[in-house]
Structure formats: structure tokens, C-alpha cells
Amino acid sequence: MKKGRKYLLKLSLINDEGFGLTESIVSILLLSLIVSYSTVFISKRLQIVHNANLISAINDEIYRDTQKLKYELWEEHLVRSKDVSVTSSFYNVNTPATKKFCLNIAETLPLLPSWYPTKWTPNSNSISVAGQLRNSIFKGKPISIKRELKSSSPFDLNYANLDKSLGKIVYIVEFKGETKIWTSIDLLSDAHSWCSPTG
């Protein structure tokens, strides 16, 4: 009975004193590990979210540029009818300038109003269309988007009687000292259907 009382007394004294030095060190180490891993995982998650938003913003910028070029290419050489009941709209491909266009689409693409500048930095200039802020993700380190043109014949066939009616536009993105070919699109003008087979 006395042994049981002594054990209970000793147990109550230990409970009153709380954690010892060893337990405190172990608990501090465990807490530090949990905080460190939490910080690493949170920063990784934020980095992934930032990269996803950045990719989406670059894609939006390129999509906006291609849609603008498509519209301007459709409108180039188009003669609009003033009265559709009398005459219909048509493409004028009989002048020397349009004859060049029929042979090679690269002769017309640089004539488009939105073609220059071929390299721009989003959010660089609020006055110019190319530099306007369209996405808040571009407020950080600047990103440059460059557009290059390569004209080619359909299916890249090398026949003398095939014109270069396809314009391959390659978009190159420069960010954090890296240059990446982002995407490429093929543009074909509606006016080519009005060209003669020999150009």
C-alpha cells in the first residue's frame, strides 16, 4: 500500500513539473520540421500557380495577336461592295502588288497594320496597343514576345508551279534569360482563292 502511494505521489510530482529538457528539444525539432516542410510546399504550390497563370497569359497574348492578323489578312486586297444588290465584294488580285502576293504570302503579311512591331513586351507602354496591360501577371519581370514569318508551299512540296500561299508564323518568348519557341500557326489568305494557278 505504501509503495502504491509513493508511486502516485511521484507521478503527480512529474505531472506538476511538465516537460523535461529532452521532451522540449524533441518537440521544438518536430515543430521546426513541420514549419519548414509547410513553407516549402506552400512556396512550390504558389510557384506552380504563378507559372500556370503566366503560361495562360502568354497564350492569351498570342491568341489576341493571331486573331488580329487573321482579320487584317482577310481584309487585305478586299474591295467591299457599296451596294450588294448591284455588285458583290471581291478580291483585287490583278495589280502588280497583288500578283506578288499570289506568288508569296510573305509579300502581303508585312503590309498589315498590326505586323509591326514584330517584337513586343506586354505592359511596356500603356499608350501603344502592343504594350498595354491586359493581364496583371505581366507586372513582374518583363516578357518579350517575338513573331517570325516563314512562307512555304502547301504541305512543304517543292514544285515549281506551286505558290507559297502559306504563312507560317513562329512565336518566340523570352523570359528569365531563356528563349523558347512557344508555338507556330499557319495563315492562309482568302484572296488566294482568287489567284490564277500561275500566280
Separation of alpha carbons 82 and 151, rounded Å = 34
Per-residue model confidence (pLDDT) at position 38? 92
Number of C-beta neighbours around residue 83 at 10 A: 7
Q: What is the mean pLDDT of the chain?
A: 78
Per-residue model confidence (pLDDT) at position 61? 85
Q: Are 122 and 141 in contact (CB under 8 A)?
A: no
Separation of alpha carbons 69 and 51, rounded Å = 27
Q: Are 153 and 192 in contact (CB under 8 A)?
A: no
pLDDT at 129 over 60: no
C-alpha cell at 133: 496591360
pLDDT, tens only, 38-76: 999 999 998 888 888 888 888 888 888 888 888 988 888
pLDDT at 118 over 90: no
Q: Of 90, 93, 105, which Cα lies nearest the Cα of 195?
A: 93
Burial class (CB in 10 A: 0-12, 13-18, 19+), 45: exposed
Largest CA distance in the chain: 120
Q: What is the pTM for the complete model shown?
A: 0.70
pLDDT, tens only, 86-111: 788 888 887 777 777 777 777 788 88
